[in-house]
Amino acid sequence: MNTHKGYTLPFALQPLQKLTLYLGIDADADFTLDKVYSDEDGAFKVMILDTTSTYQWFSDPIRRDNFFGSAQYPNELPQSIDLKRNTQLKIEIENLTNAANDGEMVFEGYRITDSGFQPRKNKYYCYVKDFTVPASNNAKDSLRIDGDSDFLVNRFICWQDLDYVLKAKIAPSSLASMGLYTQYTLLENIFGSVLRPNNLRHPLLLGKNSTVAFDLSNVDAGDPTTVPPTLPADHNCQLVFDGVKIWS
């Protein structure tokens, strides 16, 4: 019989603290994870590793804003995550604030007690890329798709420290010289939030060992009307390709 289940993991972080937590799946049932959400005092990052299968969920630590929703507006995963009974998740959490940060994460789905449960071969995954873009300048970097599998991008998600100040060009090597968009485009017009992501009607397939080139432009012009005038500033963002690893 399959039944609703939520695994709750509380945490208490000191300022800028990094902490490793563990979450164990029940011994009497497998678990399929459908939703994730959290409540907390401040910003944090996580990295999650399924220690039983040695499978890591993200390429790099992901911001809370790019993965966890709330109970009212959870992050409903585009593909569920299958966890066998007795699985232990290793969760590395980093407090991004210079203050105490208490909260809890919830992993919601359903228990599977039927025998013969087999996790699906293709697995949920996020490629994560952090940028600091200097004032009135550009930042360029690239992302390489792992050599063990192709990757199907289902959603574009991002966090940024200020709206409407960063534009991007994104060029997968699979598209040769063509970019995903015809020119520099505001991040708001490419990426959504974890609660309202840009769900791709035509998912983007990235082949194993392919690359994605990023060119971000900081167009913050400051505000000369303030006293004193506000100058252009550096800005930070984290871009996420949310999708599925596909093994042939």
pLDDT in tens, 129-181: 999 999 999 999 999 999 999 999 999 999 999 999 999 999 998 776 678 99
Plot region of 54 (φ>0 → left; ψ -120 to 50 → alpha; else → beta) = left
User: Is 112 found in the same domain as 141?
Assistant: no
Q: Which domain holds residue 195?
A: 124-246
Asked if residues 126 and 40 have their Cβ atoms less than 8 Å apart, the reply is no
User: Is 169 found in the same domain as 153?
Assistant: yes
Asked if residues 115 and 237 have their Cβ atoms less than 8 Å apart, the reply is no
User: Is 50 found in the same domain as 86?
Assistant: yes
| Overall number of domains in the chain | 2
Range in 144-148, 174-178, 216-220, 229-233 the model is least confident about: 174-178
Give the residue from 69, 87, 118 where a domain finishes: 118
Nearest to 10 by CA among 95, 104, 107: 104
Adjacent-strand bridge partners of 193: none
Burial 161-181 (b: 16+ CB within 10 A, else e): eeeebbbbbbbbbeeeeebee
User: Is 135 found in the same domain as 114?
Assistant: no
Give the residue from 118, 137, 158 where a domain finishes: 118
Return the pLDDT at 177: 62
pLDDT at residue 248 tops 90: no
User: Is 154 found in the same domain as 84?
Assistant: no
Q: What is the pTM of this model?
A: 0.95
Return the pLDDT at 2: 78
User: Is 199 found in the same domain as 134?
Assistant: yes
User: Is 109 found in the same domain as 67?
Assistant: yes
User: Is 135 found in the same domain as 66?
Assistant: no
User: Is 111 found in the same domain as 72?
Assistant: yes
pLDDT at residue 71 tops 90: no
pLDDT at residue 246 tops 90: yes
pLDDT at residue 227 tops 90: no
User: Is 137 found in the same domain as 61?
Assistant: no
CATH number at residue 59: 2.60.120
- Round to whole Å and give the CA distance between 29 and 221: 56
User: Is 239 found in the same domain as 128?
Assistant: yes
Asked if residues 95 and 101 have their Cβ atoms less than 8 Å apart, the reply is yes
User: Is 139 found in the same domain as 107?
Assistant: no
